[in-house]
Chains A and B, each alone.
Chain A
Amino acid sequence: MDCVLELEGISKQFPSHLAVDNVSFRVRRGEFFSLLGPSGCGKTTTLRLIAGFEQPTSGVILLEGTRLHSQPPYERNVSTVFQNYALFPHLTVRQNIEFGLRRRKAAGIARRAADVLALVQLAGKEDRKPAELSGGERQRVALARSLVLEPAVLLLDEPLSALDPNLRKQMRSELKALQRRTGVTFLFITHDQEEALSLSTRIALMNGGRIEQQATPEDLYLRPATRFVASFLGGMNWLHHAGIRPEAIHISRVPSLNGHRHFPATIIASTFLGNCFRIESKLSSGESIVADVAPAEGAFHPGEQVHLWWRPDDEITFPA
């Protein structure tokens, strides 16, 4: 396995709290690796430790096999795309992009800048200042400014969260395409499960400074290792220590006789979401269950007596 970045037992103790707690993971070359988790889970601190803005309390970080001791950020071959982009407001697009190349005294600065500008579709806007660009264009300048340095790992700190929802979806696919085209290893920080699931080759889900699970998006969703992972990704009903996804539940008006799990229930509410009905119901034992059923299965009305059923295979269970 060609491993470009490796964290081993990394912890970061701040005066008030332990932000990162014994975190280990490996990022393969060319991978789109995501750190996913709720705010305050330690994912941004982990990124800052890799970039060199913070020093770990303990643990080892290896970049391309070399141990990063206390190298300052300007000596590390990684580059960061900041959440607010942090573009230099006094410099033009071109000057922003050439900033890192000039620091490295790289050869062919003008050509490399022109190439990356074309790559992010900003040709013709070289002489604008960041204030004269739209949010999406600023995002692209920030990406270009880092990509042009061909870093071993590109660190992206919630780069899409400052964009409005429509633009976010568009930039998401652009980001994915950009990563494929350049082959640069991406380490992507996000709290948005949809972003992480749709973009990543692998995801490390963090909670309370620790990694709950590292897996491919499919494994993380379908085979969660902990209750936290199961609850964080997608919807989840909990019934007698087993989890069942809303989309795995079927509703019928007659009892199902096919040997599946089967519960009588009363419909509480039904909301049409376009691709499905989200139906809240109450079991006779009192538990609330949310089910997403296909519109073809028909509409149900509050107060109706129905039967919920699902395949036992769809239940997610954890050792107690």
Chain B
Amino acid sequence: MQRFRLLLIAPAALILAVLFAVPLAIVCIYSLLTRGVYGGAGTPWTLANYTRLADSLYAQILFHSLWMAALATLLCLLMGFPLALFISRAGPRKNLYLYLVILPFWTSFLVRTYAWMFLLRETGLVNTLLAALHLVREPLPLLYNDAAVILGLVYGYLPFMVLPLYATLERLDPHLLEAAADLGARPWTALVKVIFPLSAPGIRAGAILVFIPCLGAYLTPDLLGGGKSVMVGNLIQNQFTTARDWPFGAALSLVLMALVMLVLIGLLNRREDVL
């Protein structure tokens, strides 16, 4: 039996060892090396790649990334909560609405992000329409700024907030809401005092699923930020390509991982007092 159980986890363990643990070890080693003159890396061993992070330029990008990810998560929550609540009350149409929420996944994220560029650029659909309606004279700068990046992140990760929230709200006993109303709670009070606290596990799960990919986002800030809204994902990519500073890129990657783990521990290491 014991042997059989080991067999069950063997394929996954093998894949993780080869494709996760070994590369991670390599990244750790690289982060402690010195960059070569023509790229690559070599001795001497050093911690300089980490101390460089204290440089205000890099620290700023890290904080900016944290801020952008937090903002995108908050907006996803503000938009996703009412939507999930609506779907959980939609009766027989629930499945249709859930289908619509995951419909965007049928197309590649890259293609969808390009579509946003077509919509938002100076000669894009939005600006063309606004101009045709004589609402603006100059095209609005809709692309290549923080707002465009936030828009792209919220658009891309909203379903990851909606689905866990829906799962929690769906299980909420409708009698609890009737009881709240019966005891004199107006709908808003019932929302704040009953629905919100009881959907805390869903909010946590959704926040994790949105915040973590947003923090390491690369594609969205690259395409919609256009180098003007740089996030840590772009900085890392840049170190491995243009800057040819693999050790620094490796150090940045590990710091990003550490940040993600801190957030996870903060959100998950709570007493589950709801159930």
A-side interface residues toward B, CB under 8 Å? 51-53, 72-74, 78-80, 82, 84, 86-90, 99-100, 103-104, 129, 131, 145-146, 149
Complex CA gap A90/B274 in Å reads: 5
Residues of A within 8 A of B182 (CB): 51, 73-74, 78-80, 146
Partner of B175, one of A86, A90, A100: A86
Interface stretch among B63-71, B184-192, B235-243?
B184-192
Q: For A51, list chain B residues within 8 Å (CB).
A: 178, 182
Q: Which of B121-161 contact A (CB under 8 A)?
A: none
Q: Assuming A82-B175, A86-B173, is B198 touching A103 (CB within 8 A)?
A: no
B175 touches A99 (CB 8 A): no
B275 with A131: CB separation less than 8 A: yes
Task: Give, as a whole number of angstroms, the nearest-CB distance from B264 to chain A.
Answer: 23
A86 touches B185 (CB 8 A): no
Q: How far is the CA of A147 from the CA of B75 in the complex (A)?
A: 42
CA distance A69 to B45 in the complex (A): 81
B224 CB → nearest A CB, Å: 40
CB of B78 within 8 Å of the partner chain = no
B165-193, CB < 8 A from A: 173, 175-176, 178-186, 189, 193
8 Å CB contact of A103 from B173, B178, B189, B274 = B189
Across the interface, which residues of A come within 8 angstroms of B176, CB to CB? 86, 88
When the two chains form their complex, are residues A89 and B275 in contact, meaning their CB atoms are under 8 A apart? yes
Give the distance in Å from the alpha carbon of A73 to the alpha carbon of B275 in the complex.
27
Q: Inside 8 A of A53's CB, which chain B residues have their CB?
A: 178, 181
Complex Cα distance, B183 from A104, in Å, reads 9
Q: Hey, which chain A residues are within 8 Å of B255, CB to CB?
A: none
The answer to whether B274 and A89 touch across the interface, beta carbons within 8 angstroms, is yes
Q: Which residues of B contact A78 (CB under 8 A)?
A: 182
In the complex, the chain B residue whose C-beta lies closest to that of A98 is B183
Task: List chain B residues, Cβ under 8 A from A149.
Answer: 183-184
A51-B182, A73-B182, A90-B273 known; 15 other A-B pairs, CB under 8 Å?
Answer: A51-B178, A74-B182, A80-B179, A84-B175, A86-B173, A86-B175, A87-B179, A88-B198, A89-B198, A99-B180, A99-B193, A103-B185, A103-B189, A104-B184, A146-B183
Cross-interface CB contact of B184 among A74, A82, A131, cutoff 8 Å: A74
- In the bound complex, what is the Cα–Cα distance between A78 and B183 (angstroms)? 9
Interface centre among B175, B180, B183, B273 (most CB of A within 10 A): B183
Q: Is the CB of A84 within 8 A of B178?
A: no
Complex: A147 Cα to B128 Cα, angstroms: 64
* Complex interface: chain A residues within 8 A of B181 (CB): 52-53, 72-74
Q: A80-B179, A90-B197 are in contact. Are A103 and B184 (CB under 8 A)?
A: yes
Bound Cα distance A99, B183 (Å): 7
Q: Is the CB of B198 within 8 A of A90?
A: yes
Q: Mark B181-222, 1 if CB is under 8 A from A, else 0.
A: 111111001000110011000000000000000000000000
Cross-chain pair count, CB within 8 angstroms:
62
Q: Which residues of A contact B273 (CB under 8 A)?
A: 90, 129
Residues in A with CB closer than 8 Å to B193 are 99
| A73 adjacent to B198 (CB under 8 Å) | no
Chain B residue contacts of A52, Cβ below 8 A: 181
Q: In angstroms, how far is the closest chain A Cβ from the Cβ of B258?
A: 33
Q: Which residues of A contact B179 (CB under 8 A)?
A: 80, 82, 86-88
In whole angstroms, what is the CA distance A145 to B180 when docked? Answer: 11
Q: What 1/0 flags go to B245-275 for Cβ under 8 Å of A?
A: 0000000000000000000000000000111
Q: Which of A74, A82, A131 has the most CB of B within 10 A?
A: A74
| Interchain residue pairs A-B with the least CB separation, the first 4 | A103-B184, A100-B183, A86-B175, A86-B179
Closest to B273 in A: A90
Residue from the list A82, A87, A99 in contact with B178, Cβ < 8 A: A82
| B275 in contact with A99 (CB, 8 Å) | no
Q: Report how far A209 CA is from B50 CA in the complex, Å.
A: 76
User: Which B residues are CB-close (under 8 A) to A79?
Assistant: 182-183
Contacts of B183 in A (CB 8 A): 74, 79, 99-100, 103, 145-146, 149
Report whether A84 and B173 are in contact in the complex, using a CB–CB cutoff of 8 Å: yes
* Complex alpha-carbon distance, A145 and B176, angstroms: 13
Q: Which of B175, B181, B184, B197 has the most CB of A within 10 A?
A: B184
A72: which B residues are within 8 A, CB to CB?
181
Contacts of B275 in A (CB 8 A): 89, 131
A128–chain B nearest beta-carbon distance, Å: 12
Q: Which residues of B contact A99 (CB under 8 A)?
A: 180, 183, 185, 193
Residues in B neighbouring A145, C-beta threshold 8 A: 183
Minimal Cβ-Cβ distance residue in B for A90: B197
Chain A residue at minimal CB-CB distance from B196: A90
Complex CA distance for A218 and B105, rounded to whole angstroms: 68
